[in-house]
Amino acid sequence: MQSSLKFILIGTVALTLSACSGAQTPAAQAQDTKPSEKPAPAADAPSVETTDLGSGIYMIKGQGGNVGVAVGPDTVLVIDDQFARMSTAILGAIADITDKPVAYMINTHYHGDHTGGNENFAAAGATIIAHDNVHKRMSETQQSDLFDRETPPANPAARPHITFSDTTTFQTTGQKAKIHHVAGAHTDGDSIIHFEDANVIHMGDNFFNGMFPYIDTAAGGSINGMIAAHQTALDLADEATQIIPGHGAMSTKADLVAAQNLLKKIRAQVQARINAGNSLEEAIAADPLKGMESYAAFIDKDNMVKAAYLSLKK
């Protein structure tokens, strides 16, 4: 399918290094453990950890989704930017790697723990690129099926500048980066980024390594789409591929196979409850994921059943 690009003109951007978007996913809330009633002491200032993956590709971990960095001969391409409060630390970590400017920011999806730093990166000179539906969802109020929460529209200055509908390739960084849109997976606007020459894949939140994934069914996500997104990446990967998950530790193809198998087991267990005529409440009460407790992190068993159930009933 031909890809189409839309150029969206954004007005003057404001530098708001201390402002938080207020749009946090459950992942963000789970990781945001600082008490809000008192100012954080300097020792608690956000810190990040950089992992050198070789070939000019790096992963930065902090609070929120894992950040990917690709350093080319002239410019830097970054994937996801966590929260606004993390921008100084992330930009500092990039400056420790290279003095090249951050020219491009790819958002893997709309959630605030992946896009919260957009205004700061735009102000620092980055052009923000994402799937059409990322811009759409950042422009409208969002609800969650799993959590009692409403996410207001992002500031116009935080929304992507360029959006695309399908596969898109970056040639300009000197790091060939192919963006694969995966439909209806974690959300309806997800991208997987494949650095073909470096043999690195950034999965966004289509992959939670070692834990139940969040599937944003209210935003078009589905368990079948997640399994298909895993397959898209598995078809691109070989045994040497380094895989950056949206959340969790650096991964291999074997880790992604394990995650896909887990989702297939969850799907089978929840589908059996649907086939038995269970309501959502009855399916949760039946505890179909008994024995999978070790995967509960910010998504517990009940919410995992709920996300699968809502996906499969659609």
Tokens of 157: 């200055």
CB of 190 to Zn ion, least distance (A): 9
How far apart are CB 246 and Zn ion at their closest, in Å? Answer: 6
Q: What is the smallest separation between the CB atom of 101 and Zn ion, expressed in angstroms?
A: 27
Cα 244–chain centre separation: 10
Least Å distance between CB 139 and Zn ion?
17
CB of 109 to Zn ion, least distance (A): 5
User: What's the CA gap between 47 and 41, in Å, rounded?
Assistant: 13
Give 220 or 288: the residue with its C-beta nearer to Zn ion. 220
* Minimum distance of Zn ion from residue 247's CB (angstroms): 8
Cβ proximity to Zn ion: between 72 and 245 the closer is: 245
Residue with tokens 């920011």: 105
Binding to Zn ion in span 283-312, by CB under 5 A = none
| Tokens 């969790």 sit on residue | 248
User: 3-state SS of the chain: helix, strand, coil percent to 5?
Assistant: 35, 20, 45
Please check whether residue 169 is in contact with residue 179, taking contact to mean a CB–CB distance below 8 angstroms: yes
The one among 61, 85, 111, 194 contacting Zn ion by CB under 5 A: 111
Among 5-13, 192-200, 204-212, 283-291, the segment contacting Zn ion (CB under 5 A): 204-212
CB of 79 to Zn ion, least distance (A): 13
Interatomic CA distance for residues 137 and 153, integer angstroms: 8
Could you please report the per-residue DSSP string of 39-67? PPPGGGS---EEEEEETTEEEEESSSSPE
- Rounded Cα gap, residues 304 and 170, in angstroms: 35
Shortest spacing between CB 50 and Zn ion, in angstroms = 22
Residue among 58 and 110 whose Cβ is closer to Zn ion: 110
* Distance between CA atoms of residues 47 and 31, nearest Å: 13
Number of residues engaging Zn ion in binding (CB under 5 A):
2
Q: How far is it, in rounded angstroms, from Cα 181 to Cα 232? A: 10
- A 10 A CB-CB count for 35 gives 8
**Residue 126 tokens, joined:** 């980055």
Name the segment binding Zn ion (CB under 5 A); options: 103-111, 188-196, 257-265, 285-293: 103-111
Closest CB to Zn ion among 132 and 205?
A: 205
Residue whose CB is less far from Zn ion, 65 or 288: 65
Rounded Cα gap, residues 23 and 245, in angstroms:
21
Instruction: Tell the smallest beta-carbon distance from residue 142 to Zn ion (Å).
Output: 11
Question: Quick one: 173 or 191, whose CB is closer to Zn ion?
Answer: 191
Q: Which stretch binds Zn ion (CB under 5 A): 106-114, 119-127, 138-146, 281-289?
A: 106-114
Give the pair of three-digit tokens for residue 171. 């040639």
Distance in angstroms (rounded) separating the CA atoms of residues 162 and 253: 31
Part of the chain binding Zn ion (CB under 5 A), chosen from 42-50, 110-118, 165-173, 195-203: 110-118
Interaction residues for Zn ion, span 129-168 (CB under 5 A): none
Using CB under 5 A as the binding rule, whether residue 205 contacts Zn ion is answered as: yes
In sequence order, which residues have a C-beta less than 8 Å from that of residue 291 and are 6 or more positions away? none
Residue 87 or 107: which CB sits closer to Zn ion?
107
202 makes contact with Zn ion (CB under 5 A)? no
Binding region for Zn ion (CB under 5 A) out of 88-96, 142-150, 205-213, 277-285: 205-213
Q: Which residues bind Zn ion (CB under 5 A)?
A: 111, 205
